[in-house]
Amino acid sequence: MNFKTLIFLILTFSVIFVGSISITPPDYATHIYKQTLDAQVGGNIHANPLIENYLEKNSLDTAFDFNLEKGSQVYRLGNGKGKKILICGGIHGDEVQGPLTVVSILYYLKSHGNKGTIYIIPFAIPIDTEKNTRYYNQSGDVYDPNRKADIPGTPVNKILKFAVSHKINYLIDVHSGIGVKEEGMVYYGNSFEENWAKNIQNSTGCAIKTNPANGTLRSEASKRNINAITLEVEKINQGVDVPVQTELNILKRACAYLKITYYKF
């Protein structure tokens, strides 16, 4: 073997070796921890046919059974270090596209890995998902839970407290609504959130809107120095499957902007 051939072989194997390191994502599946977040909002999410049909059809209840009768669960991906992100779905129990999108990103991150630490609450209020209702019934007091995030003891206030105590830097609250354009929508408040929303808009064509509303998880988080956006897709006119794909694409873009995923979209 002459010198040139030796150099050629060394270079070739170096490229293959380095390449194989950089394209193999770490296996983060073993780093998913879960804990009960709120024992008072437990319910059987499988009793909601829109949820159950989608989970079954897409084999999304195999790795996680989402047995939430004893309370809502928060899943942690990562070791608690780095940037901290909270992704939340199901604050409004009748907006099934939201939790199904969050379940989908949970599976996506499980197989693709992530940087930093991502906390995921797929079903914020399981009892409301079970009943397919927007309104939470707290001992006879029936109210929109996403208008009382600032009131201690309410389900969304517990999520807000979790975010503050876990030093969350970025929060993404995932909903669906009526009259939302086909490409979806992102709500923002401050200038960081606006740039975040504009970046998502550039790649997805979604609408963006600022609409500070006291008592929403997004606005209350933002007041506490947690940059927060809310995602919306159409919940009635486009069924479930298409809006979930639209919202998942928006959510992946939102994560890519924070540089917490290994792949560009």
Least CB distance from residue 175 to Zn ion, whole Å? 3
175 binds Zn ion per the rule CB under 5 A: yes
For helices 49-57 and 97-112, angle between their N-to-C axes, nearest 10 degrees: 30
Cβ distance to Zn ion smaller for residue 84 or 235:
235
Q: What is the dihedral of CA 176, 154, 40, 138, to 10 degrees?
A: -90
On whether the CB atoms of residues 41 and 127 are closer than 8 A, the answer is yes
Least CB distance from residue 38 to Zn ion, whole Å? 18
Binding-site residue total for Zn ion (CB under 5 A)? 3
On whether the CB atoms of residues 221 and 163 are closer than 8 A, the answer is yes
Least CB distance from residue 92 to Zn ion, whole Å? 4
Cβ distance to Zn ion smaller for residue 187 or 257:
187
DSSP β-bridge partners for residue 228: 171
Select from 22-30, 94-102, 124-132, 197-205 the region that touches Zn ion (CB under 5 A). Answer: 94-102
Least CB distance from residue 125 to Zn ion, whole Å? 11
Select from 18-26, 86-94, 135-143, 248-256 the region that touches Zn ion (CB under 5 A). Answer: 86-94
Which ranges in the chain belong to alpha helices (H)? 3-23, 49-57, 97-112, 126-131, 155-165, 191-204, 217-223, 241-257
Cβ distance to Zn ion smaller for residue 77 or 171:
171
Strand ranges across the sheet with 227-232: 32-38, 72-77, 117-121, 84-89, 170-174, 227-232, 185-188, 207-210
Cβ distance to Zn ion smaller for residue 95 or 193:
95
Cβ distance to Zn ion smaller for residue 77 or 250:
250
On whether the CB atoms of residues 254 and 172 are closer than 8 A, the answer is yes
Give the C-alpha separation, 148 to 73, whole Å.
Answer: 20
Contact positions with Zn ion (CB under 5 A) in 107-146: none
Cβ distance to Zn ion smaller for residue 95 or 234:
95
* Residues in contact with Zn ion by the rule CB under 5 A: 92, 95, 175
